Chain A
């Protein structure tokens, strides 16, 4: 294990999101910020870096500067990043670079979007498909795919179709992933141990069976509704600082032990493969930097935009071989109580469609605050972000 971590997480926070809340995006960011201040006694004037997403549902010019105004912060460094579902992971990498280089002392990695509020029930898929980059448009630069009616579920559906063709995986095996994450999300009310339960954050908490998943409405064959990410309101905030400062702020900081990134492009039809992505490179780099092997991972929080994303990610990260993901999930390894408890909070399929919760949950697991869903004695947690199908990959290894 890396003996001298140079970057720590001193606190985490989340907004009361979930289903349509009627809140604006900056309001959700502000709630997450206040929750962070409750988690970590930092003087807001000491926050000298503010990194945000560039929100999709409610875009704003120079978003991060507007947010600092809204929150009353005056940082040395701020930027709004667009890395799809891996945006908070990308910002963690930037925060780590700012802290390690000494350019910033305390960086807030914040994320949020009010997609559930902004996109009406009727046009959600249409709005999501156009706002989240999978444009149905005849206008440049989308004229080579937009006129064919792409949707996000269709793109990830093609990933599942190809996986079934190459490896003989089955719809039941993909559905089994949704079963696991829904089971994990069921008891998760968003409560955080010491500060008491905050009811109602978990978004789709009813447990399901494989049969239930396969009986839910078809969205884009072979993907059913219960295999698709929730469309949620969310806000998350993570405070990244030096291990020394983190130790002053709290007795149980979490450390960034390793980090890896790899990016190969954007469009699915340009990717060399849609079942094998540079996830393997970012994971290899992150595990090497942390000086750990895969069997030392106690908890895995991975971006599960669709069941196909999770299947491919498990394989590409090297937790099982290519094509073995189906048998791996059916054996229960990813379940709470299995050897690799995955998406212990419920992930995008059950807890919230937000992107920052993977890092928040990894941190809370390492602090032992997760109650019923706590993985006993968790010392190493991995948070894996992917985006652009999975052509962008960012792996974070966190530890106590």
Chain B
């Protein structure tokens, strides 16, 4: 199965990538223990109940930490340095790996509010990114 060109998906990850295409950030939610989790798995990693349900996240969070990359891992990323890799802590609890866009890296502050935005990335994939709230 493909969600987008080049992106292999399966029954576990399909709802996440379908959400990305629709501009929705989807998280798994465990109906047994109430925990949210990122990334997609066939079980809740907290209480081990099977088949967590999918819910749309608010798309809001805070910047947990970041780094400004000067040496990219591939030609596609080397072409866009400097770019910001980040861990964002979502309002629902889980943290995700992402990039911060639409911001001067020097103006970023750990703990600042960020919100999701959907873009096509350097490798041609549509992905959830984050930018400073209100940007």
A residues sitting closer than 8 Å to B (CB atoms) are 125-126, 129-130, 134, 136, 138-140, 143-145, 147-151, 153-155, 157-162, 165, 217-223, 267-270, 274
Contacts and interface: CB of A to CB of B under 8 A. Distances in A.
B71 A147 contact: no
Interface residues of B, number: 40
B39 A221 contact: no
A149 B71 contact: no
A328 B21 CA distance: 50
A268 B86 CA distance: 10
A158 B86 contact: yes
A170 to B, nearest CB: 15
A221 B68 contact: yes
B6 interface: yes
B125 A161 contact: no
Contact of A126 (B70, B74, B80, B83): B74
A218 B66 CA distance: 15
A149 B69 contact: yes
B87 A268 contact: yes
B96 to A, nearest CB: 6
A130 B73 CA distance: 8
A355 to B, nearest CB: 22
A217 B70 contact: yes
A158 B98 CA distance: 12
A162 B65 CA distance: 5
A354 B9 CA distance: 37
B67 interface: yes
Contacts of B86: 158
B67 A222 contact: yes
Given A125-B71, A221-B105, A165 B99 contact: no
Given A138-B125, A144-B39, A165-B110, A149 B67 contact: no
Contacts of B122: 149
B125 to A, nearest CB: 5
A75 B114 CA distance: 56
Contacts of A222: 67
Contacts of A155: 67, 85
Nearest to A218: B70
B8 interface: yes
Interface in B70-100: 70-74, 76-77, 80, 82-83, 85-87, 95-99
B96 A144 contact: yes
Interface string B1-24: 000001110100100000000000
28 contacts: A125-B73, A136-B73, A138-B6, A138-B7, A140-B8, A140-B13, A144-B38, A145-B97, A148-B99, A148-B121, A150-B73, A150-B97, A151-B69, A153-B71, A157-B67, A158-B66, A160-B67, A162-B110, A165-B65, A217-B70, A220-B69, A221-B105, A222-B67, A223-B67, A268-B87, A268-B97, A269-B97, A274-B87
Interface of B: 6-8, 10, 13, 38-40, 64-74, 76-77, 80, 82-83, 85-87, 95-99, 105, 110-111, 121-123, 125, 127
Contacts of B67: 153-155, 157-158, 160-161, 220-223
Contacts of B65: 158-159, 161-162, 165, 274
Given A158-B65, A165-B65, A165-B111, A147 B70 contact: no
A161 B66 contact: yes
Contacts of A157: 67-68, 85
A154 B84 CA distance: 9
Interface pairs A-B: 7 shortest CB-CB: A157-B67, A221-B68, A165-B110, A149-B77, A136-B73, A162-B65, A129-B73
A148 B71 contact: no
Interface centre among A140, A153, A223, A269 (most CB of B within 10 A): A269
Nearest to A126: B73
Contacts of A143: 7-8, 13
Nearest to A141: B39
A157 to B, nearest CB: 3
A366 B31 CA distance: 56
Contact of B73 (A151, A161, A165, A218): A151
B97 A162 contact: no
A150 B71 CA distance: 10
Nearest to A124: B71
Contacts of B10: 140
Contacts of A129: 73
Nearest to A127: B73
